[in-house]
Amino acid sequence: MTAHVPTARLTGERLLDDMTPAERERAARVEQVLPALRAAAAQADADKAFPVGHVELLREAGLLGLVVPEEYGGLGGTLRDLAAATFAMGTACPSTALAFFFHNTSASRGLLPLEAIDSGLFAADEEPVVKAFADKILQRMAAGVWMANFASESVKSSSANIAIATTATPAEGGWVLNGEKSFGCATGVADTYLVTARIEGTTTADGLALFLVPRSAPGVSARPAWDGLGMRGSANDGCRLTDVFVPADEALTVPGAFVKMLQCSRGSFVGNQLAITAVYVGCAQNLYDDTLARLTGKTFADTGRPIAESPMHQVIIGDMTERLETAHLWLRRQLLLETCEPPIATKSEVYAQWRIAKGSICQAAFDVAVGAFKASGTSAATMNGIVGRGLRDLAMGLVMTFPPERGRLEAASVITANRANELFANQAVTR
């Protein structure tokens, strides 16, 4: 399906104001699905259900292969396209945008191994195995397979963001998986679950492996429905895997493959991670636009002037504007850092920036929601209206992955360590 590319500004261009023609063409595909997303958003939230028609809608629009290279049949988009897409979808239905984001993170499980091969990180005999798995992921996504990415688990580790306890045990012709995956979008919706598990008996990240599990494979079940405060239409119940058999060629179990993938990620560890924050910025943008329209359209009974002109509203509008733009700024910068060629920052700098950016973006987006809430008053403080739903959806950004407070501390730790290293080098020189 080809999209008509309108000459008017596309929604995604509010974030990405320097799109190439090819990017605009892809963004036009996103634009055309927005009305359907917007129309279904309130009901999806109320029903706590991903609108089933959206899978076909996005597949038809070719968007399931948005970031898959053209040689694999995809649209050839990059992280820039993905961020613009999740931002635009976020203005219409943040839940769908979130699920779509997680689908796209699966592409990194194809792309990063290929980069690792190019960088010579794999042994010669490992390369074909790794490549075959990577190709499989990319080809399927381009062909319209929705591939949910299940990594998170509920166990907490003080030193790692995600601790993996799901276990893969060798079995005749493949592997048997057992475990439970918490948060992961498109549970019961995606065609395939991309599951990260640890090979039984291993103790380090070298033992982490990837498995492709059909949604309806025996032993796969949904966890108890998760009654989220926001992002309720993203079908993020998570799943249980009980003695689920996966054939050997549907798995990537080369030792160290996971770690080598991460080494090739330019920014955040899963690759593409910044696009999740674009979901929240899109949601905040929509809430901001809607609030301004309401406040300038509604008037005081006594003066006939727009409510937006009251001193309190002017203060809040000024603050909301500053907060929304701050979210845009951090997001655009991170996108530049992770996509520009040649790179303008070291991997360590990009990482530290991301840890802060994630928190600053999501906090600023949430602050926009709080501003909209205050400015709109009691009558708009409903569960299902755009303001109440926006507040709930944007609250989720405060906890997904990590809160701002954690991001800043982690950045501080990296920066301090880097400085200490520099210091050491300096001392060595002065001897």
Subset of 242-281 contacting a copy of itself (CB under 8 A) = none
Q: Which of residues 155, 205, 248, 425 is near a copy of itself by CB under 8 A?
A: 155
Pairwise CA distance, residues 66 & 52, whole Å: 20
Among the residue ranges 92-100, 133-141, 259-267, 293-301, the one whose residues contact a copy of itself (CB under 8 A): 293-301
Q: Return the CA Rg of the chain.
A: 22
Q: What's the rounded Cα separation, in Å, for the pair 295 and 317? A: 10
Return the closest-CA partner of residue 372 out of 388, 384, 351, 355: 388
Q: Which of 22, 53, 205, 300 binds a copy of itself (CB under 8 A)?
A: 300
Site string for a copy of itself, 311-330 (x = CB under 8 A): xxxxxxxxx-xx--xx--xx
Report the b/e string of 372-409 with b at 16+ CB within 10 A.
bbbbbeeebeeeeebbbbbbbbbbbbbebbbebeebee
Indicate which single residue of 190, 308, 335, 386 sits in contact with a copy of itself (rule: CB under 8 A).
308
Q: Select 298 or 347, whichever has its Cβ closest to a copy of itself.
A: 298
The angle subtended at Cα 394 by Cα 388 and Cα 400, nearest 5°, is 140
Query: Residue 308 Cβ, how far from a copy of itself at the closest point, in Å?
Result: 5
Please say whether the beta carbons of 76 and 107 come within 8 A.
Answer: no
Q: Which of 288, 377, 373, 290 is nearest to 324 (CA)?
A: 288
From the number of C-beta atoms within 10 Å of its C-beta (0-12, 13-18, 19+), residue 332 rates as: middle
Among 243, 248, 416, 425, binds a copy of itself (CB under 8 A): 416
- Tell me: does residue 346 bind a copy of itself (CB under 8 A): no
Is 193 near a copy of itself (CB under 8 A)?
no
Question: Rounded distance, CA 68 to CA 65, Å?
Answer: 5
As measured in angstroms, the least distance from the Cβ of 336 to a copy of itself is 9
Bridge partners, 240 (sequence order): 180, 221
Handedness of CA 49, 52, 53, 54 (dihedral sign): positive
Least Cβ distance, residue 344 to a copy of itself (angstroms) = 5
Which residue, 113 or 230, has its beta carbon nearer to a copy of itself? Answer: 230
**Complex with a copy of itself: residue 175 or 373, whichever CB lies closer:** 373
> In the bound complex, what is the minimum distance in angstroms from residue 426's beta carbon to a copy of itself?
9
Interface pick for a copy of itself out of 78, 161, 178, 182 (rule CB under 8 A): 182
Q: Does 183 bind a copy of itself (CB under 8 A)?
A: yes
The one among 114, 143, 162, 415 contacting a copy of itself by CB under 8 A: 415
Residues near a copy of itself (CB under 8 A), total: 93
The encoded tokens of residue 211 equal 């498995």
Q: Is 430 in the site for a copy of itself (CB under 8 A)?
A: no
Contact pick of 42, 114, 162, 163 for a copy of itself (by CB under 8 A): 163
- Identify which range of 19-27, 154-162, 199-207, 278-286 contacts a copy of itself by CB under 8 A: 154-162
Residue 105 Cβ vs a copy of itself, minimum distance, rounded to whole Å: 16
With contact defined as beta carbons under 8 Å apart, do 129 and 160 qualify? no
Binding of residue 373 to a copy of itself (CB under 8 A) = yes
Amino acid identity, position 269:
F
Residues numbered 375 to 394 that lie near a copy of itself (CB under 8 A) are 375-379, 381-384, 388, 391-392
Considering only 232, 274, 281, 393, the residue that binds a copy of itself (CB under 8 A) is 232
Query: Cα(295)–Cα(378) distance, rounded to whole angstroms?
Result: 14
